[in-house]
């Protein structure tokens, strides 16, 4: 099933990538999937605390 997602590059040190990789492995996720999961969870937490983030149309 195809998805319509934007792609971007992260500029992180090898050490940071390695640490994220360790966390991803412990959660049985790929590195990319884990980064997506963390970003989405952070957005949900911020919106829970501060309300919905409004996007300009």
Which pLDDT belongs to residue 1? 64
Which residues, 6 or more positions from 17, have their beta carbon under 8 angstroms from its beta carbon? 31
In a domain, 3, yes or no: no
pLDDT of residue 3: 76
Which pLDDT does position 7 carry in this prediction? 87
Our count of domains for the chain comes to 1
Query: 1-38, pLDDT tens digit by residue?
Result: 677 888 889 999 999 999 999 999 999 999 999 999 99
Q: Is 38 exposed, middle or buried (0-12, 13-18, 19+ CB in 10 A)?
A: middle
User: What pTM was estimated for this model as a whole?
Assistant: 0.79
Whether residue 55 is contained in a domain is answered as: no
Domain of residue 42 covers 14-49
Cα–Cα distance between 44 and 28 in angstroms, integer?
22
pLDDT of residue 46: 97
């Amino acid at each position: 099933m195809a998805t319509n997602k934007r792609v971007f590059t992260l500029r992180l040190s090898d050490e940071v990538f390695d640490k994220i990789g360790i966390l991803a492995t412990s959660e049985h996720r790929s590195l990319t999937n884990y980064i997506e999961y963390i970003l989405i969870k952070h957005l949900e937490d911020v919106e829970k605390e501060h309300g919905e983030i409004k996007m300009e149309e």
